[in-house]
Structure 1
């Protein structure tokens, strides 16, 4: 298959390494490159033969593909859609890995033109890669992938295709919204960072770089599970959409209590390398890095979207409100006012209201049409 991967980060390079074994793969990047490249590639610590793939910074050439995979962070996806839109047409598959973050709202024009858009609930791999060193390392692979498409009638077909490409069993989801609302980074990252910084005062410093899951404790797990409960209430309120495939974190991690959740998250080897978002100072101390993706991505393209949907369907969310209040107090960034109206930074998020989806009836129709 003719596939283009956008993004030379951890996930993009891992996808290139896997997919180039059996397909004609192109990597789009503006970083320095030769026209043909290879990677030093490891899969769960085992060296695997690397295939050669094409590299380009020509947008038209990159979009000349049957399948396009976007591995960009959520805050770059609006621009990605605008960049590829002139070059893709009916029959093209465009996938977002992962697919949460409200990307479906940006893609309405593409879908109308006959492009099939799909999103994965979670990334296929936990990976560490480097373009400068031309390395791709897959630390672990998911046992199962979950995908949805718009239009939704193509989900089963795309699931079969991805299973063949990634060699991982892939389940066709009933609703794309099960991708948008999957309890992943916008819950884990924001809850964990809140646990570390909730008592932070300007001028406070940390003596060393902290590791994210080493700092995790039962109070943080309790907060996370309360957030997860609110998300489940939102899903139930969105009937007739069937969101039973938005699996609670209690079930996903087999951890029904805060204590069990703490033990589980601390035991996951692939999580050991995750750092608390800190920046070093000149004197060797550390300060919170409010520009880290745990804030600049997981709030506008996670927490704010979930809160907007909750307001739309009348679900009370005290835990989510605590997160938004905390973020506003620390950074001045505000997506929603206390009365539910749009605040000064609403346009920097992908909240459904920014795309004319302001009531439940229109929202449900968007996903069913």
Structure 2
């Protein structure tokens, strides 16, 4: 099968190597083709086994997707609108278009594709935890044993077989795409941790060293995480005409029912070790990196989306509101005002209301 991967970051590189090692022809579309090698190295985080993978074609030219049998997009959510415009002239209606991961408002940005019958899908989580060693040359990753898939305009079971075969793992179909959108991954995991880490810090606060994002995970982080996740479950319960039982609570996902067990679990996940907090070194000190995707993606294209659905279904979200209010204070963005969910900066987010989805009926029509 001919596969095109758009995006040469952590996940795109790892997926390209995995798919190539399964015997498929892989093309990478990246903005930095000159930095790529046709032979890349993939190192398994657990076994340390090294695999050399061949990349058939490396380019910045979007026309290459016309020859693809499957397309994976691994760019940040805030780039999806631009990518959609770029690929639209070349995408065939027979080529499944996958967004990895499928959260971040994918179904909103690609709504014109969906309405025209293009097969569009997303995975609930990334298929591996990956970190680049050298851009375009090598990556280390921990591949998961399974992922779940939601889609539009394609047979779910058939698509799961194809994606599972490409990635060498189990791929399970979901009843509806909203289950993907509500997956409590980065939009809750990252934002809860950021709040716990920096709630009392000013934007220009200085640290002597970077703080490990996961290895130093504490009980406050777990407390906020569990509270926000419970509010997401409350939103799911209010959407009565869709089966959202597939939105698995983080206490179940991490097999940690209490704050203390959650802290122990997350701080000891091997694939999370060595991941730093979003900070940059300046004048010999570390300061917050507000341009990190932890901020620029996980709030406007993550937590805000969940809050948007809460507003549609009149769900109270005090913990999510507290985290969003903190982000407003530190970033200067304004989402929540004294009169409600109507701040001027909501126009720059991926909330459903920005795409004409304002009532429960709108939600059911899109996802049923």
TM-score class, shorter-chain normalisation, is over 0.9
Partner of 1:235: 236
Instruction: Name stretches of at least 5 consecutive residues in structure 2 with no aligned partner.
Output: none
How far residue 222 of structure 1 moved from its aligned partner, in angstroms, is: 0.9
Which structure 2 residues correspond to residues 52-91 of structure 1 after superposition, within 5 A? 52-91=55-94
How far residue 338 of structure 1 moved from its aligned partner, in angstroms, is: 4.1
Distance in 2 (alpha carbons) for counterparts of 1:9 and 1:53 = 18
Distance in 1 (alpha carbons) for counterparts of 2:344 and 2:235 = 25
How far residue 133 of structure 1 moved from its aligned partner, in angstroms, is: 5.8
Equivalent of 1:96 in 94, 99, 112: 99
Partner of 1:106: 109
Distance in 2 (alpha carbons) for counterparts of 1:228 and 1:34 = 40
How far residue 63 of structure 1 moved from its aligned partner, in angstroms, is: 3.7
Distance in 2 (alpha carbons) for counterparts of 1:234 and 1:202 = 32
Structure 1, residues 74-121: CA drift from partner, whole Å, max 9, x if none? 111111111111211321210011000011011111122221110001
How far residue 189 of structure 1 moved from its aligned partner, in angstroms, is: 0.6
Seen in structure 2, the aligned counterparts of structure 1 residues 266 and 35 have a Cα distance that, compared at 3 Å, is closer
How far residue 43 of structure 1 moved from its aligned partner, in angstroms, is: 2.7
Are the counterparts in 2 of residues 2 and 23 from structure 1 also a CA contact under 8 Å? yes
**Is 1:179–2:185 an aligned residue pair?**
no
Distance in 2 (alpha carbons) for counterparts of 1:54 and 1:198 = 46
Partner of 1:320: 320
Distance in 2 (alpha carbons) for counterparts of 1:355 and 1:175 = 19
Seen in structure 2, the aligned counterparts of structure 1 residues 338 and 102 have a Cα distance that, compared at 3 Å, is farther
Partner of 1:190: 191
Partner of 1:347: 347
Query: TM-score, structure 1 length as denominator?
Result: 0.95
Partner of 2:4: 4
Partner secondary structure for residue 334 of structure 1: coil
How far residue 24 of structure 1 moved from its aligned partner, in angstroms, is: 1.5
Seen in structure 2, the aligned counterparts of structure 1 residues 34 and 272 have a Cα distance that, compared at 3 Å, is closer
Partner of 1:223: 224
Name the Cα RMSD after superposition: 1.6
Partner of 2:120: 117
Which structure 2 residues correspond to residues 161-172 of structure 1 after superposition, within 5 A? 161-172=162-173
Number of residue equivalences: 365
**Is 1:141–2:132 an aligned residue pair?**
no
Structure 1, residues 134-157: CA drift from partner, whole Å, max 9, x if none? 11222x111211001013x52211
Partner of 2:335: 335
How far residue 73 of structure 1 moved from its aligned partner, in angstroms, is: 1.1
Distance in 1 (alpha carbons) for counterparts of 2:132 and 2:86 = 25
Distance in 1 (alpha carbons) for counterparts of 2:178 and 2:28 = 29
Distance in 2 (alpha carbons) for counterparts of 1:84 and 1:132 = 24
Instruction: Name stretches of at least 5 consecutive residues in structure 1 with no aligned partner.
Output: none
Are the counterparts in 2 of residues 190 and 294 from structure 1 also a CA contact under 8 Å? yes
Partner of 2:51: 48
Partner of 1:278: 279
